Structure 1
Amino acid sequence: MSSDQRVAFVGLGGMGGGMAHRLREAGVRLVVQNRTAAKTIPLVDAGAIAAGTPAGAAADADVVFVSVADEEALDEVIFGPHGVAAGLRPGGYLVDTSTASPTYSIAAAERLAERGIRFVEARILGNPLHARSGELRIFAAGRDQDVEAVRPLLEIIGQEIRNLGPIGAASTFKLAFNVLLGAQLAAISEAVGLAERAGLSREVMLQTIGTSGLASPVLAFRCALALKGRFDPPAFRTRLMHKDLRLALSDARSPMPVIARAAEYFDAALERGLGELDAAIVLARAEPAVQAGAAR
């Protein structure tokens, strides 16, 4: 990729902001845009240029990265009246790092192709710290030549880049990972509830699970959050976990009863107004979905 490549980044939340900073630190010529304009200030201080709309950010770009929370926001940012598609020239690349369903991604790629815009899914595994340090794992999908064209940029923000195949593959892969986490958190909540009802200590259970052979680094991290009662700032918001579980269930080609049951935990958390807290909130009390269900 040439050193004069022009790049835009739209969506500067925890993940998007980290990736944008990483690109700028690598010397990438960067235009940034965010719905809340204040989030552009640190990047402007680092040498980026701020734009007022996604279309404005894309107007002079060769590649546009997008990182937003859900499909509604994604649709507005890409296809809205001031969206990326209104500004990006034919032949440009749109790299979507958000989490969306394969159905949405395939449809978006087709709509962009009608405008001559090349679409790459770049689904990411990691947290905001990984985004900032360039240690993300990136699972891409799209035409081979398109993925290869943006690979040098992906290598700045990620330590591992894999091309999974056609559009939709990376979205399915990411949802599969996220539903696994959701199911594990729900299972831990039930296990801890079982012990607590028998008079055992919730704290001892969480501490032991988090330091046992059953715990991955991600689960150990969330058991520790629950022990400390520290769910804000979130590493992965409850409403995003809820969204991903429901996307997976709606796109599934066969029943997923375990995931359907796990989704009830996050349904209940949203009903209690906990959507902006870390998904570990389901470990904060025994069987929240059962309690919420009993009240309905």
Structure 2
Amino acid sequence: MKPTGIAVIGLGNMGAAMAHRLLEGGFALTVCNRTAEKAAPLVAAGAVLAESIEAVAETGLILLSLSDEAAVDEVLFGKLFPALRRGTLVIDTSAVSPGYARQAARRLADAGIRRVEASVIGNPGMARSGGLRVFTAGEHDDVESARAVLNTLSRDGFVHLGRSGQASALKLAFNLILGAQTVALAEAVSFAAVAGLDRKTLLDAVLNSGVRSPVLAFRAEFMRTGRYEPAAFRARLMEKDVRLLLTEAQDAGLALPLADALAHRYAGVVAAGDGDKDAAVVLAAHEDTIPRVKEEHQQ
């Protein structure tokens, strides 16, 4: 049985898509976002716009989709926490470090507030259609209380991993692979250009080969067109997630040289002013040098 109401805080690409999915799935939806105009399409579709973040506390079930730990600190612990009732269930889909996830769960539990860590794998289109892969962590009974929401968002039902922090660790591991594949594809496109190959020819060959993957196909479309907005996964969030993974690994004494290189690559993208473009924009870092390098190569 679906709960009578749920509130969604954070209406970025993924948050808005999940909110639409929940609304279409029959949930009575309240929405809240720091930029109120982002809520307009959901309100037009039947959602209720909360007057303030604090007003969301009246809903006993809250889903968070925030960009980083600073945003969770500001929204959840800075504004919402003092108004939350004991027994409130918070489903947090924000990508944070495992250590932060454990700390947040303990802090909420001390106040009698339940937290389900829900890491979602996929893009906004998948979120809108209920095609996400969902991995959870936290107390089993709390996860069961969130089952109707999680099943509405997920393609094949969710997978429960265990204690707090584990779903966040899996999310960061996924994003490391995503980042590596995206950079590898960008470098392959750049190399092909230097060698005189057409970009479309290279991308078509890759996507019709044994190395094809949904991830490569999705990022290849951004690279094919050279249009990186609207972003499905912003470059600045990629850099943030890789750095969270590196910090966690370093605390455990684990060296990850590839992750370190990726963090520097995406830091360069952000420094160039492209942080809000899709992560595939990493290709643009090469594009200005390709004509010069190609010319030198042919001499």
TM-score by length of 2: 0.89
Aligned pair partner of 2:125 in 97, 113, 129: 129
Stretches of 4+ moved more than 6 A in 1? none
Where do 1:18-97 residues align within 5 Å?
18-58=17-57, 60-80=58-78, 82-83=79-80, 85-97=81-93
Corresponding pairs, count: 285
Deviation of 1:288 (Å) = 9.0
Deviations 1:33-62 (CA, angstroms, capped at 9, x unpaired)? 11111122222233322113222112x211
Aligned-partner Cα distance in 2 for 1:204–1:286 = 18
Aligned residue type for 1:51: A
Q: Does 1:120 align with 2:119?
A: no
- SS of aligned partner of 2:158: strand
- SS of aligned partner of 2:228: coil
Aligned residue type for 1:91: G
Aligned-partner Cα distance in 2 for 1:164–1:111 = 21
Where do 1:164-179 residues align within 5 Å?
164-179=161-176
Q: Does 1:216 align with 2:213?
A: yes
Deviation of 1:213 (Å) = 1.6
Q: Which residue of 1 aligns with 2:262?
A: 262
Aligned-partner Cα distance in 1 for 2:260–2:2 = 47
Deviations 1:195-233 (CA, angstroms, capped at 9, x unpaired)? 444444444333322332212011022122112111111
User: CA separation of 1:9/1:171 partners in 2, compared to 1, >3 Å: closer, same or farther?
Assistant: same
Contact persistence 2:2–2:27 (CA under 8 A): no
Query: Is the deviation greater in 276-285 or in 201-210?
Result: 201-210
Aligned-partner Cα distance in 2 for 1:279–1:161 = 26
Aligned pair partner of 1:98 in 68, 76, 94: 94
User: CA separation of 1:260/1:29 partners in 2, compared to 1, >3 Å: closer, same or farther?
Assistant: same
Deviations 1:244-282 (CA, angstroms, capped at 9, x unpaired)? 111111111201111111222211111110011111111
Q: Which residue of 2 aligns with 1:150?
A: 146
Query: Is the deviation greater in 275-284 or in 162-171?
Result: 275-284
Q: Which residue of 2 aligns with 1:192?
A: 189
Q: Which residue of 2 aligns with 1:292?
A: none
Aligned-partner Cα distance in 1 for 2:217–2:23 = 32
Contact persistence 1:182–1:262 (CA under 8 A): yes
User: CA separation of 1:205/1:46 partners in 2, compared to 1, >3 Å: closer, same or farther?
Assistant: closer
Aligned residue type for 2:244: L
User: CA separation of 1:2/1:281 partners in 2, compared to 1, >3 Å: closer, same or farther?
Assistant: closer
Identity of aligned residues (%): 47
Contact persistence 1:210–1:221 (CA under 8 A): no
Deviation of 1:178 (Å) = 0.4
Contact persistence 2:102–2:165 (CA under 8 A): yes
Aligned-partner Cα distance in 2 for 1:121–1:63 = 14
User: CA separation of 1:40/1:286 partners in 2, compared to 1, >3 Å: closer, same or farther?
Assistant: closer
- SS of aligned partner of 1:286: helix
- SS of aligned partner of 1:164: strand
Aligned-partner Cα distance in 1 for 2:114–2:138 = 9
